[in-house]
Amino acid sequence: MDHHERRHRVDRLDRKRHRLHPRSRVRRAAQGNLPRRRARAFHRRLPRPRRRQGGDAMKWRSWAVGAAVAFALPVVASAAPWGYHDPGDLEPNSGQGRVDWMVYAPGMRYPMGNGPSFANSQVYRPGGSQGGGGTQCDAVNYDYPWRDNYCEIRSWDMPLCPAGTGHQGQDIRPATCEKSVHPNVATVDGTITNIGSYSVYLTDPQGRRYDYLHGDTNMVSVGQDVSRGDPINLVSNAFGGTSTTIHLHFNLKQDVAGYGFVYVPPYMSLIQAYEDLMDLGNAPPDGTAAVDACEAITGWAQDPDTPDDPVTVEIWFDGTPDEPTATGVMVLANQYRMDLCDSLGSCEHGFEIDVPLSLRDGYPHVVHAYGTDTEGGGRSELPDSPTFVDCDRPPVPEGVRRPLAGPDHLAAWGFSPFWSSMRLSAEELDGIETGPAVPDTPVVVVDEANVGWLIDGSYRRRIPSQAVADAWGFDLAAAPVWTADELDAYAEGTDLRPEPILVRGPGPVYYLVDDPQCDPNDPACGAPGGSSGGPSSDDGGGGDGTGGGTAGGSAATAGLPEDYGGDDGGCGCRSDARPRQPSAIWALTLLALGRRRRR
């Protein structure tokens, strides 16, 4: 089986492990200091531009001309994107590895001065004594994915290896198959404690030892203090008078409870350090957010680390997540957008939410948009954020205003003042006739033709479409079926309006703007079924609009079947989700940190 066959086999096996999420090949860390976002089984990535190196990554550039030649040398291009096999997954027939996700040296610098480089076996790959032919310079040795070879078959005593013996560290090939060209550098601040014929030991202040084997052209001496990124030597094939393949053999040795001062697996520490060096680690989500003609906030979001998976976007109005007066909304960026297909490589990353009616008030409101990292990296503000909503208030719809008794009454109907209310002056509010109070809870039924009806006091009001039911948060599938006789006990009122609109004056009371209802048998009434309603009638709800009449549950439930309601307290038949977007993407008002959000 050649390298590419093995690579695809790993990909298939990894998909098999994650049947619930076939496009997400992220493995979670089993233990230790490894952040969960970095633990992955041969996780393939799209290439991204490298960040500019600075700090210790630049130190070796000032070396002698011989070392600087590394810049001009062609590197072996990796055909596969960056990735790696699980720790403990060794080359076939090379021994039993140790499955250990621990990052034993968190935060260390990568031990080579530059990349790319390729961690894999020197013995069980082409050109090695057990590699089955080929040469050490074969391209297959200079390609991803990386592969662990700690505990590979050797005779060294290794108490942490399943066999009790094995390879002490990790072999790493440099960018090209050339000796005495590629620099090794200090992984940490520390002291050079030993130099052998082909080894250099660096010890940090905590006593952990970092071993560099098979290098030449040493640039340090015993007892010398070095800083992170300082030159150590050049990658070579020195082996005490004989030769090996061109590589760095890198060890970590430290105290381990119950074992003493032993060699520990360096694989995951190297992966973390390499991702930092090459900017291959977790990337924040990218995207945009903009206000579209005061009707909606639209945009897209994608996590480069999992480019096919949808990203959760947080939209925060009137502040950032840390501000107690801000209101946050979550929406899943999974809408199909043709314009994203070529630029992002996949199409389903769009999102859209309504501009909340309460913010369409003629004043500017700041809007912050954040993408939530799919690999546990938290939220990141999208590049075009913040933006602003600055929209005039729409016209107040005609009708009557029906009082709502307070927060519990709003909650019973699922009404959201943030999404569905507009603020009026006292004069504007007084100019709207007061109608009967809204019933305590919604009573929703369907007839034998599966048409939905709202029982509103002594009236039955048709729910004209599924879209209207969704806008009001009514779950018609859960509504009980009423016979024609049961429905005929109620006079037919106007159709339910397309969506609930609330108004509020200077005081704390919210009102539902609705059609006035009247008995069609009354000569003063027009025909039912419209959404504009007819003239008001004294018996249009049996109340004076101040909380009596249909404000209580008695009028709303008059004439209901004896067994109606049950545990639902009258079968509000509320939908679990109340879509507030034309696209029907789910959106929830966030209760971050348990704080009560207000406008």
Confidence check: pLDDT of 69 > 50: no
d(CA 358, CA 377): 32
One-letter amino acid identity for 139? A
338 CB burial (10 A radius; 0-12, 13-18, 19+): exposed
Of the given ranges (150-164, 272-286, 357-371, 548-562), which has the lowest mean pLDDT?
A: 548-562
d(CA 116, CA 271): 12
Q: Sign of the CA dihedral 335, 338, 343, 347?
A: positive
Q: Model-level pTM?
A: 0.53
SS3 content of the chain, % helix, strand, coil (to 5): 15, 25, 55
Read off φ and ψ for residue 574, nearest 5 degrees: -80, 145
d(CA 89, CA 151): 10
Per-residue pLDDT at 329: 93
What does pLDDT average to over the chain? Answer: 79
Vertex 225, ends 222 and 231: CA angle to 5°? 85
Domain ranges (residues) in the chain: 3-278, 286-390, 400-564
Beta pairing class for 502-504 and 421-423 = parallel
Span 310-314, average pLDDT? 94
Give the model confidence (pLDDT) of 417-435 as tens digits. 999 999 999 999 999 999 9
d(CA 237, CA 244): 5
Q: What is the CATH number of domain 3-278?
A: 2.70.70.10
User: Is residue 73 within 8 Å of residue 116, measured between CB atoms?
Assistant: no
Of the given ranges (47-56, 113-122, 327-336, 342-351), which has the lowest mean pLDDT?
A: 47-56
Per-residue pLDDT at 174: 97
Per-residue pLDDT at 81: 85
Confidence of residue 38 (pLDDT cuts 50, 70, 90): very low
Confidence check: pLDDT of 156 > 80: yes
User: Is residue 23 within 8 Å of residue 308, measured between CB atoms?
Assistant: yes
Of the given ranges (141-150, 154-163, 370-379), which has the lowest mean pLDDT?
A: 370-379
Confidence check: pLDDT of 76 > 70: no
Q: What is the CATH number of domain 286-390?
A: 2.60.40
Span 382-392, average pLDDT? 92
Vertex 51, ends 50 and 52: CA angle to 5°? 120
**Is residue 459 within a helix (H) or strand (E), and if so which, with residue range?**
strand 459-463
- The answer to whether the 3-278 and 286-390 domains have the same CATH topology is no
The better pLDDT of the pair 223, 549 is held by: 223
**Mean pLDDT highest for which of 60-74, 182-196, 370-384?**
182-196
Six-digit token string for 421: 């209310």
CA-to-CA separations, 452 to 101, 449, 464, 478, 573, in angstroms, rounded = 56, 9, 7, 11, 11
Per-residue pLDDT at 525: 62
d(CA 286, CA 382): 6
Give the model confidence (pLDDT) of 208-229 as tens digits. 999 999 999 999 999 999 999 9
